Structure 1
């Protein structure tokens, strides 16, 4: 394996782990309203993918369907999610955000953005922030390739 390939493999592993940690940290730092991080994460994903099924949400969140069913049940009990029969397959239920669920998801998204911006501004020097900004642009190229 070439040194470039080995460096890419190591960077890919480190980046994957770091992105997961960053996502969890952002969810934990902005959790409000007594939701667990799993509930907040499912609500955020539903805001992007609705309507969807619990099974699709489970796949996106990398959890078992049974775990997602419990998460969705808790969100429905809190009035943040509603279920409707799928018009194409009555055996399936589609999930939607309620108005309250949408408001929560939008507020949480804004809180995550504010937390990350504040953390970057407070925790990095101007030179370090410039490096992060450049790295974000490079990662954008990777995503688009």
Structure 2
């Protein structure tokens, strides 16, 4: 809720700051507990998008809001590492479809599993059942933030 001047309520500002700090800390911890194989955040983001489905380099560039040349560099490195593969687009011979290889998919699944395992163990160790239920209730409320 906002005040009459249109500025966010102090509690909204405090919650926003707390969430930003917490998500940054959690992101760093997830990176620490999963082997990143020296991939850049941009390369990991590209692989994460490809995990959702095949795409062209142009589609990836638009989704990542970067230049096509940047995506081409990421894809070249990921192809060399065996994480992605390219094949001709059956509808347009000038384009290529990019997809994760089995190794790329396995890598992404392993990263996710490692992060989930760490977080589940941490929640079990540091929180009571009642506190975990409170976290679940808060998550249901926070889900609305992602629906915009």
TM score, norm. by length of structure 1: 0.73
| Aligned counterpart in structure 2 of residue 136 of structure 1, from 128, 134, 139 | 139
Task: Please name the residue that 2:34 is paired with.
Answer: 30
| Aligned counterpart in structure 1 of residue 115 of structure 2, from 107, 112, 134 | 112
| SS, match of residue 99 in structure 2 | strand
Give me the CA root mean square deviation. Answer: 3.1
**Runs of 4+ deviating beyond 6 Å:** none
- Return the structure number with greater helix share: 1
* Whole-angstrom CA distance in 2 between matches of 1:15 and 1:30: 22
Pairwise CA distance, 1:28 = 4.0
Task: Please name the residue that 2:92 is paired with.
Answer: 89
Judged with a 3 Å threshold, the aligned counterparts in structure 2 of structure 1 residues 24 and 74 are, in CA distance, closer, same or farther, namely farther
- Report 1:1-145 matches (<5 A): 1-2=2-3, 5-6=8-9, 7-8=11-12, 11-12=15-16, 14-16=18-20, 18-19=22-23, 21-32=25-36, 34-38=37-41, 39-48=43-52, 50-61=53-64, 63-122=66-125, 124-126=126-128, 128-143=131-146
* Whole-angstrom CA distance in 2 between matches of 1:13 and 1:86: 45
Unaligned runs of 5+ in 2: none
Task: Say how many residue pairs are matched.
Answer: 142
* Whole-angstrom CA distance in 2 between matches of 1:81 and 1:26: 23
Judged with a 3 Å threshold, the aligned counterparts in structure 2 of structure 1 residues 119 and 68 are, in CA distance, closer, same or farther, namely farther
